[in-house]
Structure 1
Amino acid sequence: MKKTITFGIPCYNSAAYMDKCVESILEGSDYADDVQIVIVDDGSAKDDTPAKADEWQQRYPDIVKAVHQENGGHGVAVMKAVANADGVYFKNIDSDDWADADALKALLAKLREFVAADEQVDLVLTNYVYEHVEDNTRNAVNYRHQLPVGRVFGWNEIGHFKMWKYLLMHALTYRTETLRKANLQMPPHTFYVDNIYAYVPFPLCHSLYYLDVDLYRYFIGREDQSVNEKVLTSRVDHYWRVARIMMHAYHVYDDIDSPQLRSYMMNYFTIIMAICSVFSKLSDREDAMDQLEALWRELREYDERMYRRAKHGVVGTATNLPSGLGKKITIGGYRLAQKVVKFN
């Protein structure tokens, strides 16, 4: 049977929690034959992840495919799943996260409609929920005020996105063919590459559909998680790397035809540069501020207009205030945003 969707699950020493992720897809899909799960063991060597992946394939050989590779990092593992996908659509779910059963059923029903009608929708969008382990609270992110609901649309019909409501990887289900056309080159051993995944393919997506269901459950609060503030600060160089790839992907004002998509992408890139600025200030690396200045210089040389928008707009100004006092104000603003939005 032709697969409607492939769920990619990149795993690195994930034995303690990957079963919940796999089970949520199997149970939510009622073990459907047109669903595929590609578990990518990204060179796990500290636990039973490789064996667990093989066990899942042995139990459900028509649904689950186990793939093993040398450790390459999250982005490389995601793209390995894409390369092995047999589904018309592709969705990534990280191994410590899971899918809501009712929402998954709704997504499958809609995707099956598209496949049966041979309607080529490039990107299907759904909601996600931050599941905060530290205080057992939830924060749902939806797009009801930014996107048309329940119909196919194009980028020119999208509304304004607030800073905390961008279309992150958790919200995205790509048409596999469209995603492959983007030819994403993920840097190895690099965190935060989900930003590349949720940016570079967008100009290739000409038809979109928003399904207003809370599908992706994003577990947040583990001390070793990449979005943990201490971890992120120690890996600020990874964000510099990601920002450079996004920077050089497009001359946004010249390459993007849709005014709405152009505005969205420029604003999202501005947020990435702001994150670089904030965490460079938080970093105890001696070269952090020199590296940040080099990143801004590179952007200015690459595209003066993108530089002005990212550096001298409201967000850029607020996150790049000069002097020691400016640094304190920038960090204070970040702390306030973190408490309100609870993004990490």
Structure 2
Amino acid sequence: MKTISFAIPCYNSADYMDKCIESILACDPDGRGDIEILIVDDGSVKDNTAQKADEWEQRHPGVIRAIHQSNKGHGGAVNTGLENATGLYYKVVDSDDWLDADAMREIMAYLRRQTELKEPTDLVVANYVYEKVYEGSRTVMHYRNVFPVGKECGWEDTHHFNQSQYLLMHSVIYRTELLRDCGLKLPEHTFYVDNIFVYVPLPYVQTIYYLDVDMYRYFIGREDQSVNEQVMYSRRDQQLRVTRHMIDAVDLPDAVESRRLEKYMENYLSMMMCICSIFLRMEKTEENERDREEIWQYLEERNPVLYKRVKRTALNWGTNLPTEAGRQLGLFGYRMAQKIFKFN
């Protein structure tokens, strides 16, 4: 068994995938061969992504595998990676991002120790960095006030997450079998499924280990990027689809044993509902207003208890005031959050 499988979803990624792959190969500088890199070519047609993937496999047989499939979207590529993974752990790295070599030395040392244990850690967490390359700025997102550093813990050992400290796909490494045991399967042809990836498996996580190192470099700046504001607005229907999936996937609070995890997941879903509301109020149309009302109705029908909790949070109370002033207040809050957290 490999120590870890890295999955790289690639869709017309020829211009930047090499840097990503090289950064992952650096996780095994001694050539142990205990890492696996799964390049999932998701039906690329506009460039030579498929050819590059095959060339990488030829140069590193036994370490890199090129997997070609018809286009299924980011979620479909993550699913394919998980289906083919042979590592004890599973990590998704988007093709325009990269891993930090110094940080990964510490992380790999820990993961390798886990291969010797009967009960390895379920979830390994590290920091990620917003790399706004075109602006020349970077913002480190850490969790040192949430998890004990360098010590295995459970959810009851954690502390309060700040508003900017949600676990993202960038910051997590799951035990592979845990993802399979919880039946994780992401929707195909849908953006923003990373939210499902870092939300649905959490009730199955019993043990966590946090390393205070800057592992993941998250590139921000391409015009076609899914977190670009105009792109997000155009894909608001997919944001709604993902949020509905999350509402259905975990029955809060009954499905969660830990009160602290329950609170975290409630806050995460509250954030998702807030994003839905904000993007549906960016442009004042009858369709947008109907969709906003329907997503809240969906939550109320599926989980009345959770609906009451989420609806009355300051975050969602302000963004859903039923007036033009309320709409403007929600948009103002979004702009302020952009400046503070530098998320897009």
Separation in 2 of the partners of 1:213 and 1:74? 26
- Give the equivalent residue in structure 2 for 1:218: 218
2:200 corresponds to which letter in structure 1?
A: V
TM-score norm. by structure 1 comes to: 0.98
Q: In structure 2, give the amino acid aligned to 1:12.
A: Y
How far 1:163 moved relative to its partner? 1.3
Q: Which residue of 1 aligns with 2:76?
A: 76
Q: State the AA in 1 paired with 2:18.
A: D
Equivalent residue number for residue 146 of structure 2: 146
Distance 1:169 1:71 in 2: 21
Structure 1 residues 175 and 285, CA gap change in structure 2 (3 angstroms): farther
Q: Following TM superposition, by how much is the alpha carbon of 1:29 offset from its aligned partner in structure 2, in angstroms?
A: 2.4
Partners in 2 of 1:214 and 1:283 — Cα distance?
A: 37
Q: Which residue of 2 aligns with 1:10?
A: 9
- Runs of 4+ residues over 2 Å off in structure 1: 283-286
Matched residue, 1:49:
49
Which secondary structure does the structure 2 equivalent of 1:116 belong to? coil
Share of identical aligned residues, percent? Answer: 50
SS in 1 for 2:253: helix
**Do 1:149 and 1:211's aligned partners in 2 also have CA atoms closer than 8 Å?**
yes
Question: Structure 1 residue 262: deviation in Å?
Answer: 0.4
Secondary structure class of the residue paired with 2:184? coil
- The CA distance in 1 between the partners of 2:159 and 2:186, in whole Å, is 29
Displacement after TM superposition at 1:151 (Å): 1.1
Letter aligned with residue 300 of structure 1: E
Shift of 1:284: 6.3
Q: Distance in 2 between matches of 1:47 and 1:96?
A: 15
> Can you give the 5+ residue segments of structure 1 that lack an aligned partner in the other structure?
none
**Counterparts of 1:165 and 1:194, CA distance in 2:** 15
2:342 equivalent to 1:342: yes
Asked if 2 retains the 8 angstrom alpha-carbon contact of 1:320 and 1:330, the reply is: yes
Task: Please report the TM-score for the alignment, with normalisation by the length of structure 2.
Answer: 0.98
SS for the counterpart of 1:241 is helix
Indicate the SS of the match to 1:146: coil
How many matched pairs? 343
Q: Distance in 2 between matches of 1:253 and 1:337?
A: 28
| 258-267 or 175-184, larger mean C-alpha shift | 175-184
Which ranges of structure 2 fall in alignment gaps of 5 or more residues? Answer: none
**SS where residue 15 of structure 1 aligns?**
coil
| 1:26 equivalenced with 2:22 (yes/no) | no
Contact 2:131 2:219 in 1 (8 A): yes
Q: Which deviates the most, 87-96 or 23-32?
A: 23-32
Q: In structure 2, the residue corresponding to 1:328 is in which secondary structure?
A: helix
Give the stretch that moved more between structures: 26-35 or 282-291: 282-291
Aligned partner of residue 82 in structure 2, secondary structure: helix
Distance 2:123 2:267 in 1: 20
1:193 aligns with 2:214: no
SS at match of 1:167: coil
> How many Å apart are 1:118 and its aligned residue?
3.2
Q: Is the CA contact 2:203–2:255 (under 8 Å) kept in the aligned structure 1?
A: no
Q: For 1:111-164, what per-residue CA distance to the aligned partner results, in whole angstroms no more than 9, with x for missing partners?
A: 011112333211000110000023111100010001111111111111111111
How far is the alpha carbon of 1:335 from its aligned partner?
Answer: 0.4
